[in-house]
Amino acid sequence: MNAFSSPARLRDMIRAIRACKTAAEERAVVRKECAAIRTSINGNDQHYRHRNLAKLMFIHMLGYPTHFGQMECLKLIASPGFPEKRMGYLGLMLLLDEKQEVLMLVTNSLKQDLNHTNQYIVGLALCALGNICSAEMARDLAKEVERLLDFRDPNIRKKAALCSARIIKKVPDLAENFVGPATALLREKHHGVLITGVQLCTDLCKISSEALEHVRKKCTDGLVRVLKDLANNPYSPEYDVAGFMDPFLHIRLLRLLRVLGEGDADASDSMNDILAQVATKIESNKTIGNAILYECVQTIMSIQDSGGLRVLAINILGKFLSHRDNNIRYVGLNMLIKVVIADVQAVQRHRATILECIKDSDASIRRRALELVCILVNETNVKSLTKELVDYLEVSDQDFRVDLTEKICSIVSKYSSEKIWYIDQMLKVLSEAGNFVKDEVWHALIVVISNASELHGYTVRALYKAFQRSAEQETLVRVAVWCIGEYGDFLINNVGMLDVEDPIKVTESDVVHVVEMALKRHSLDITTKAMTLVALLKLSSRFPSCSERIREIVIQYKGNFVLELQQRSIEFNLIIAKHQNIRPTLVERMPVLDEATFIARRAGSLPDAASTPTNRVAKAVAPIVDLLDINSDASPVRVPSSSGGDLLHDLLGVNISFAAQQSDATPPSENGTDVLLDLLSIGSPSAPTKSPAQSNSSTIDIWSPQPSKKSPLSPLDDLSSLSPSPRTTSNAGAAPLVDSLDGFVPSPPTEDNNELVYPSITAFESSSLRLVFNFSKQPGNLQTTNIRATFTNLTSNVYTDFVFQAAVPKFLQLHLNPASGNILTASGKESITQNMRLTNSQHGKKSLVMRIKVSYKINGKETMEEGQINNFPREL
């Protein structure tokens, strides 16, 4: 023997591999053993061939390549002795699969072994063929396997039946050859042969319709008798499993009966009695009994049966739901979802148990139970079931709330018969889990509220109360600020009081304060803050006494980082300050939204418009149209007409005619988007100032990217054309061009007492503190910026020991002056100011940047906030 051969036994190699402490050591041992095995194979060493193959199988199970030993399997299979054949067939099943080309070489050896006089060698060949049989091998060896179905030894017949099942799966055309022998196996007394015969018949029935009809006519009564004998047999230790007589045969028989009874009334009728007997006799206190009952229920629900047996099956599933084992409860819920269509009333009896499953600690059981509850909901039980789900929503897990809120909203939307009940349930959902509600849900709620004119007062009061309790739910805030903006005056006068509610005392200042608190919440997204600004604009018209306070709130966002909020702040401020005469018309209540159109578009039943130039213009205007961001992707947009009033009427619900608002001498505008585009400052004037009779509306080119130099008029000044009394406009008193956009581009500095003054910014804002910077420079020293910092307390607590610190990069020099105080009063009543001087050594090359830290004490407890300021004006 050469130096590389290894006579080590399998156990020695396993011991050496297990002794390895690292993967590298294991790989070294495997490489050494593989080298020794290759040397032995090349030397044609027959003495160690079976030992080498055993080692290869172990190495293969460890995940290492062993393809070089495949031919050794064939050599051992060709050996005459049983031990060598056993090792060869075992290696064949482990190291090869049906896709290997080398498998073609073993077909002849298999054929010889299937005809061998030694039944144990026949058994080895059948096991190997049943595991790796390919379509070609099946065609070549089908006759030998069919002949072995009548073999004298029951073990061979059992293995031949399992091998036949694989053959007919690989080659369905051979199924008819096995029908006769397979049905003969159903008369066997040996349970091992009988269970394989039942499995073979089941596979035949699924593959061949002719086999199904043959087995249905010839064997149904016999199978029923076998199942009856099995259910009524006394204790037999040979087949007893935990007190049940051969449960595996039980399950196989039930599956075959299910296939035979499906779609056939006669076969179903013949098996009704035995199925009822099995369902009532089997105990459900053990897992084996539950397995048999589950198969019995599946068979009952699949065959053609009367309602009584199905009720019995559903009651069994109801018992599953009360079981301690999670797996059994999950299986019961799964089966109930499948059978609920067959008998809804029977499942409804177990509604209370199903609702308890929604509160289960297992997430998969909760989701299945929720799905089943949604199927059980109808017009009669929708209110009780919804109440149970909403009550559970208060204590449910965060991970489960997404699915739960979606299902509740779907149920309420589908089965609500009263709008007040729909609104109440949706408000409960928004109050408890508004952050988990999808956009289309609150869109639909706003549409319903818009159509329920008699409930406007009730809804806005309910939302006002809910907002005060659950201001952290963002979707609730959106719906609340929309309703308060539309119907805020109903809060003051208690308009539309219902018998079920108590009157509340709310002042105009309280309403504005609530909306202001919503706007100041640091966690709200851009959409919510934009909707809140729109609500404030509408309240400025509803509550004239609070108009100045609202303007102060709105103007705080003119330097906001977000362009959308900045634009709204600037435009709304100008409307409140300069255009009081037309403001009530602009902010009239939204017209009633078409509920049917919304539902149709939500369902996707309305086709999209063709992509024509006119439609492209409409799509371009659509984002401007949707001031409230409600269903912007689906809202219908009409193309502006020459009448001039349609588009604004669609947008803002202005229920007036443009002709009535204009002078008789004033011709209608040729572009219906003028007023809207003036309002939003989109585009620029494209024509010079007209004569006094024509100056009420300026034509604006929405596609023009650059302002025209011909017109000195501010677009917002053209809003006065909506005033009942026409006016003429002269160049002398014209406002600067596009005054509503001064917050969108760097504003030129203004001179104030020989200083250059720049626009202020909100440098830092949290839920508790706001920091505003005001800038100025000396005309001769542009590198140095004077900054006045103003700190405002946004909470109801007093801040003591207030300290402000700042840090800047090396190219900047910072000088801090003492602050005006160290006590910051509550609710912004008084502010702290602190001046600083910032010198930029690389002015014009690098922008200003600053890192800040603020510390203070609340009731003796120290608090610290910090942040980085990057939004300094570029011209600094």
Instruction: Pick the closest to residue 488 from 463, 518, 511, 454 (CA basis).
Output: 511
The per-residue pLDDT for range 597-641, each reduced to its tens digit, is 777 776 664 444 333 333 333 333 333 334 334 343 433 333 333
The DSSP 8-state label assigned to residue 113 in this structure reads H
- DSSP letter string, 605-626: -SPPPP--HHHHHHHHHHHHH-
Confidence grade of residue 750 (pLDDT, cut at 50, 70, 90): low
What confidence score (pLDDT) does residue 399 get? 87
Confidence grade of residue 123 (pLDDT, cut at 50, 70, 90): very high
What confidence score (pLDDT) does residue 365 get? 94
What confidence score (pLDDT) does residue 342 get? 84
What confidence score (pLDDT) does residue 304 get? 84
For the chain, give the percent of residues with pLDDT over 70. 81
The per-residue pLDDT for range 263-320, each reduced to its tens digit, is 888 999 999 999 999 999 888 888 899 999 999 999 999 988 767 889 999 999 999 9
Q: What is the mean pLDDT of residues 792-803?
A: 91
**102 pLDDT above the threshold of 90:** no
**685 pLDDT above the threshold of 50:** no
What confidence score (pLDDT) does residue 755 get? 80
Secondary structure (3-state) at 788: strand
Kindly report which listed range (238-252, 696-710, 730-744, 785-799) carries the lowest average pLDDT score.
696-710
The per-residue pLDDT for range 430-481, each reduced to its tens digit, is 999 988 999 999 999 999 999 988 999 999 999 999 998 888 888 999 999 9
Decide the pairing of beta strands 781-793 and 800-807.
unpaired
Confidence grade of residue 748 (pLDDT, cut at 50, 70, 90): low
**518 pLDDT above the threshold of 70:** yes
Kindly report which listed range (76-85, 736-745, 799-808) carries the lowest average pLDDT score.
736-745
Two structure tokens written together for 459: 């809804």
Of the two residues 493 and 410, the one the predictor is more confident about is 410
With beta carbons less than 8 A apart as the criterion, state whether 448 and 483 touch: no
Of the two residues 746 and 466, the one the predictor is more confident about is 466
Instruction: Pick the closest to residue 512 from 493, 538, 475 (CA basis).
Output: 538
Two structure tokens written together for 795: 């909470």
Instruction: Pick the closest to residue 719 from 668, 664, 676 (CA basis).
Output: 676
Instruction: Pick the closest to residue 199 from 229, 177, 178 (CA basis).
Output: 178
**369 pLDDT above the threshold of 90:** yes
**708 pLDDT above the threshold of 80:** no
SS3 per-residue string spanning 738-754: CHHHCCCCCCCCEEECC
The overall pTM is greater than 0.75: no
Q: Is the dihedral of CA 610, 612, 614, 617 positive or negative?
A: positive
What confidence score (pLDDT) does residue 752 get? 56
Cα within 13 Å of Cα(401), Cβ side: 17
Kindly report which listed range (37-46, 161-170, 819-828) carries the lowest average pLDDT score.
37-46
State the chain's mean pLDDT as an integer: 81
Q: At what angle do helices 398-415 and 363-376 cross, to 10 degrees?
A: 0
Long-range contacts of 44-52 (CB under 8 A, 24+ apart): 45/5, 48/5, 48/7, 49/75, 49/76, 49/84, 50/76, 50/83, 50/84, 50/87, 51/9, 51/10
How far is residue 701 from each of residues 338, 675, 783, measured CA to CA in Å? 61, 12, 41
Query: Across the strands, what pairs with 864?
Result: 855
Number of H helices, E strands in the chain: 36, 13
With beta carbons less than 8 A apart as the criterion, state whether 112 and 120 touch: no
What confidence score (pLDDT) does residue 239 get? 84
Confidence grade of residue 429 (pLDDT, cut at 50, 70, 90): very high
Instruction: Pick the closest to residue 76 from 95, 57, 89 (CA basis).
Output: 89
**164 pLDDT above the threshold of 70:** yes
What confidence score (pLDDT) does residue 165 get? 95
SS3 per-residue string spanning 72-89: HHHHHHCCCCHHHHHHHH
Confidence grade of residue 751 (pLDDT, cut at 50, 70, 90): low
Q: Which residues, including other chains, have CB under 8 Å from residue 262's CB and lie 6 or more apart?
A: 302, 303, 304
Confidence grade of residue 70 (pLDDT, cut at 50, 70, 90): confident
> From CA 664, how far away is CA 661, in angstroms rounded?
9
> From CA 339, how far away is CA 315, in angstroms rounded?
12
**147 pLDDT above the threshold of 90:** yes
Secondary structure (3-state) at 233: coil
Kindly report which listed range (553-557, 587-591, 752-756) carries the lowest average pLDDT score.
752-756
Confidence grade of residue 731 (pLDDT, cut at 50, 70, 90): very low
